[in-house]
Amino acid sequence: MAFFTQDQLEAIAGALGDTTQGLTGPEIQHLLSSSKMTDPGPLTKRVRLYNAFVESQNTKQNRTHILEFIRLSMKPARYSREPERYEPLRANLNQALAFAGLIVDQAGSLSSIEAAQTLPEAQRRARELRADLEGRGVHPDVLKFCRAELLADDYFHAVQEAVKSVADKMRIRTGLTDDGATLVDRVLGGDSPMLAVNARNTASERSEQSGFANLIRGTFGMFRNPTAHEARLHWAMTKEDAEDLLTIVSLIHRRLDKAHMPPRV
């Protein structure tokens, strides 16, 4: 049965109890109770969590309650009133969990990854991928949306988050609330699209508009239906694949930025 090592517990407690981006004292008290762990009392947040984790693992001879604490603490709904807290906390926690071979995805679920052995190893591929993308001139919105996933060294979710950013931009530009192919059809399709990538005066320009819409439909379909709902282990994402796919998403962002809204008739 797997156990967390002392240094892993220190890193996890440090991330969850971080002074600026971690859980609050009342949140820690509630989550310790909910995960059936003994609360060691009024200590600094890091020490409080570390002591609770150590006591639980030593007493129960398993890490079940610690994993439950992580799951409960990373439920997205918990941050509905302060959504800006979620991604920084998840990024810090994932860097700590990388040494234990675990990762928290955007939905708050825990899954297994290949364990990192050193801190440089945990960060190396993230730095390399980001550097390569910046060298390609990738759109800053792509880097912004996948930052947490890059820090967690998770290529699949980096691409998945970047794809989500395309839909987000289309909704912001148009005020719509749709998603997927329906969103693409309403924004870019038909004789009176809400966004146009050119003047649409010639057959060639209309074909370009249609092709751009198909490109986004295909990108959404590839990463959101059904891949987005499959377990991560079913999608082998290499750094090279991620770079190429993120470059495509960057192209989409640039074309959307330059698109205009034709007069509605």
Q: What is the mean pLDDT, run by run of 10 residues, along the chain of 265 residues?
A: 88 93 94 96 94 96 96 94 87 84 85 70 64 86 66 69 91 94 94 93 95 95 59 61 92 96 79
- Alpha-carbon distance of 180 to 216, in angstroms, equals 9
The 8-class DSSP code of residue 23 comes to -
Please report which residue ranges of 35-179 form alpha helices under DSSP H.
Answer: 45-60, 64-73, 86-97, 119-135, 140-145, 147-151, 155-174
Instruction: Check: pTM over 0.85? Answer yes or no.
Output: no
How long a stretch of residues is the chain?
A: 265
How far apart CA 31 and CA 51 sit, in angstroms, is 14
**Which tokens in the block code for residue 150?**
């890059």
Mention every residue, 6+ apart, whose C-beta is less than 8 A from residue 230.
none
- Looking at the DSSP bridge assignments, the partners of residue 199 are none
Q: How far is CA 89 from CA 19, 39, 153, in A?
A: 11, 21, 15
Contact 260, 177 (CB under 8 A): no
DSSP code for 21: T
- Cα angle 26-50-123, degrees, rounded to a multiple of 5: 105
Burial 143-166 (b: 16+ CB within 10 A, else e): bebbbbbbbbbbbbbbbbbbbbbb
Q: For residue 20, what pLDDT is reported? A: 86
The single-letter DSSP state of residue 78 is G
User: In the prediction, which pLDDT does 265 show?
Assistant: 61
42: closest CA among 56, 25, 22? 25
pLDDT value at residue 229:
46
Q: One-letter amino acid identity for 246?
A: L
- Predicted local distance difference test score (pLDDT) of residue 118: 62
| Residues 13, 49 contacting (CB under 8 angstroms) | yes
Distance CA 194, CA 173 (A): 9
Distance of alpha carbon 216 from its chain centroid, rounded?
A: 20
Tell me, what's the pLDDT at 125? 61
Q: In angstroms, rounded to a whole number, what is the distance separating the alpha carbons of residues 146 and 165? A: 9
Contact indicator for 223, 162 with CB cutoff of 8 Å: no
